[in-house]
Structure 1
Amino acid sequence: MTTRVMLVSPAAGASQREVRFDDGGPLSEAGVRRARAAAGSLPVADRVFASPSVRCRDTAVELGLSARPEAELAGCAMGDWGGRALAEVAAAEPVAVSSWLRDPDFDGHGGESLRQLCDRIAGWLTTMALDAGRVLAVVEPDVVRAAAVCALRVPADAFWRLDVAPLTVTELSGRGGRWNLGLGRALDRG
């Protein structure tokens, strides 16, 4: 029994341009246009989800998807850093930012560590694999990275070595607890 999971990264919003920890902001006008242009380019799925973030839910809508919000697919909880620019946090807390980038167990911002994120996403993938079929989820880039770490069974510190562009699809197919990974296919009508 094979399960196929397609993880779609959301269109860009102002937070990404400003290198800001998710602040709940909407998609940019350009992001909306790109998502609308890609509507209809995804195959039909048996189950469709979205991260609870505004930009993931809005991307799903612009793609023409009827996605169920899934709390388990939330991006990494950043605690006190949420909504702040990375440059601002790095200037105020350089040692903490260095630790966050180096140590997958760091949670000094009062949120979730990258290892905890990876474990949460591994649990979600395990649940999805219980039923055959196609799953589609619009999720934050850090969730895509965590899923790739889990699929490849690599150490959590590999998380930072994976780049996820807006409006790309990362595909996982698996059975028996083993996943194959297809990375970053552009989401477009062609």
Structure 2
Amino acid sequence: MTSRVILISPAISAALREARFDDGCPLDAAGLRGAEAAAGTLPTAHRLCCSPTVRCRETAGALGLDALDAPELAALDTGRWRGSTLAEVGAAEPEALTRWLSDPEVAPHGGESVAALCERVGAWLDRLAEPASETARTIAVAEPEVVRAALVHALGTPLPSFWRTDVPPLTAVELSGRAGRWNVRMGRPL
């Protein structure tokens, strides 16, 4: 059986607009309107899940999806940088930020490394592609970094490619796979 996974990035929020490490802020009015406008455009799925963040839950709800939180799809834990903008971190800890952006194995913020995120998300995808998997299609509303990690795993690219992938708000990345091999269809706007 072929497993199909549609990863949907959340609608826009103040944190996304400000290039701020997520701090639990909700969708802004434009983001909510965009997600509501896209409701009804997705195919049916056997499993609906989302990153356990406010903006992913709100996006799923606005899309009309009764999605369950999936801990495996949690956002990257950015430790003490949570709530700060990239510019603020760059001004306060330029060497730490440079290390973080160049070495996926490090976590100078005290949270989770990019490598650990990619491993966690990759394990989730592998479970979905197992022959005994009961679900043919999964729709997941997931933070942009979770979508990036899924792409790194699905394409088998080196970890530094994580930083080379942009995931715009309210777009879908579709994965289809079986026997440990994934195909990718990227960037469909909702």
> What TM bracket, shorter-length normalisation?
over 0.9
**Structure 2: distance between partners of 1:164 and 1:19:** 13
Q: Give matches, 1:170-189, under 5 Å.
A: 170-187=173-190
**Structure 2: distance between partners of 1:57 and 1:128:** 21
**Structure 2: distance between partners of 1:167 and 1:61:** 13
- Aligned partner of residue 166 in structure 1, secondary structure: coil
**Structure 2: distance between partners of 1:35 and 1:184:** 16
- Deviation, 1:60, is 0.2
Runs of 4+ in 1 over 3 A off after TM superposition: none
**Structure 2: distance between partners of 1:156 and 1:184:** 20
Query: 2:80: which partner in 1?
Result: 80
Query: 2:60: which partner in 1?
Result: 60
- Deviation, 1:106, is 1.3
- Deviation, 1:182, is 0.7
- Deviation, 1:40, is 0.3
Q: Which amino acid aligns with 1:5?
A: V
Query: 1:119: which partner in 2?
Result: 119
Query: 1:139: which partner in 2?
Result: 142
What are the superposed Cα offsets for residues 141-177 of structure 1, whole Å, 9 maximum, x if unpaired? 0000000000000111000110000000000000001
Percent identity of the aligned residues?
Answer: 57
**Structure 2: distance between partners of 1:151 and 1:128:** 12
**Structure 2: distance between partners of 1:108 and 1:101:** 10
Q: TM-score, normalised by structure 1?
A: 0.97
Q: How many residues matched?
A: 187
Q: TM-score, normalised by structure 2?
A: 0.97
Question: Over aligned residue pairs, what C-alpha RMSD do you find?
Answer: 0.7
**Structure 1: distance between partners of 2:75 and 2:181:** 23
Q: 2:154 aligns with which of 151, 160, 165?
A: 151
1:2 aligns with 2:2: yes
**Structure 2: distance between partners of 1:74 and 1:12:** 18
- Aligned partner of residue 116 in structure 1, secondary structure: helix
**Structure 2: distance between partners of 1:18 and 1:94:** 19
**Structure 1: distance between partners of 2:165 and 2:86:** 18
